[in-house]
Amino acid sequence: MMDISRETLIENIKALSEKSVLVAGDLALDVMIYGATERISREAPVLILRHSYTKYILGGASNAANNASAINSGKVSVIGVVGDDYHAADIRRVFEDAGINCKYLVEAKGRQTITKTRISGSCSHSITQQIVRIDTQSDEPLPENVEKQIIKNLEEAIPEHDALILSDYHIGTLTPKIINSAIKIANKHKKIIVVDAQKDLDNYKNITSMTPNLPDTQKYVGRKLCTREDFSAAGRYLISDCKAKFILITCGGDGMMLITPKETYHIPVFNKSKVFDVTGAGDTVTAVYTLALAAGANPVYAAIIGNIAAGIVVKEFGCATTSINAIIKSIPSKINVE
């Protein structure tokens, strides 16, 4: 059992707004199209929707940036690729509306901006339901000139920020050259480096931390994790493979496991309540955890803060964000870390 100081925790949370973060990775735009169902088409057995409105949401690596910006607007930047299509202007506009600096974006001619379009409908007697999702993305490797420009932008941007998040959705932005260059530059300038990836975790070496979820961790180590000893072994295996200082494994409703070279800590879910939507909760953890580490928080305290933040956003639909005041108000009366 580890004693947690409420006063120290509050100080760490308040310090989140003082730090800046750079997010590099697969930047995506979620396009949410809503309409009312009218009838079945005469042309084909499909629903006809009367369009009501369209909402643009930052998804993929963009959501990690959005979560950070909700806490320290004006101190978050993104690096990634957009296409030369009309969605490139859309994602730039949404970044700017969220207070996120997007001057380091690189446009790739002939490439598509990563977009996930969800079409949802409802009628007067039903809730809104998703009907179809359309994913738009490029599967071709990054052109060499685009890769070089991203690395050049990293050289300029990393020294200006306190922390670097590498958010890999495996859509092709984070190539081996970009990964290695980003980590090398960040370490040269003594920056916090946190990785959020779903596979190929050992592509990332010499980092501060990593935030894999339980299923992805189990896939990487090749076995199911059940006991504390299992988590300790898996975490230290990752620490060794990635040359990381510590690993944070997110376990959904079972909380988190923070593993250091010598200790293992279980951080339970605080303020349990009805979960509406877990979409983007992992990005919330990564963003807030990274800001806390950059602010000088002990890794356990940083994980607790990320845990509380995630507990707030899962109560809302879609990729939600939170704030410093909301996190402080959500600190539980009793904090048990084993």
Query: Which residues are catalytically annotated?
Result: 283
Please give the Cα distance from 238 to 201 (Å, whole number).
8
Phi and psi angles of residue 150, each rounded to the nearest 5 degrees, phi first: -60, -45
At residue 69, the 3 state secondary structure works out as helix
Q: Please say whether the beta carbons of 164 and 24 come within 8 A.
A: yes
337: β partners:
2
Please give the Cα distance from 273 to 150 (Å, whole number).
42
- By CB atoms closer than 10 A (0-12, 13-18, 19+), residue 274 is exposed
Displacement of CA 244 from its chain's centroid (Å): 19
Q: Please say whether the beta carbons of 35 and 48 come within 8 A.
A: no
Phi and psi angles of residue 236, each rounded to the nearest 5 degrees, phi first: -75, -25
Helix H or strand E segment including 56? strand 47-60
At residue 131, the 3 state secondary structure works out as strand
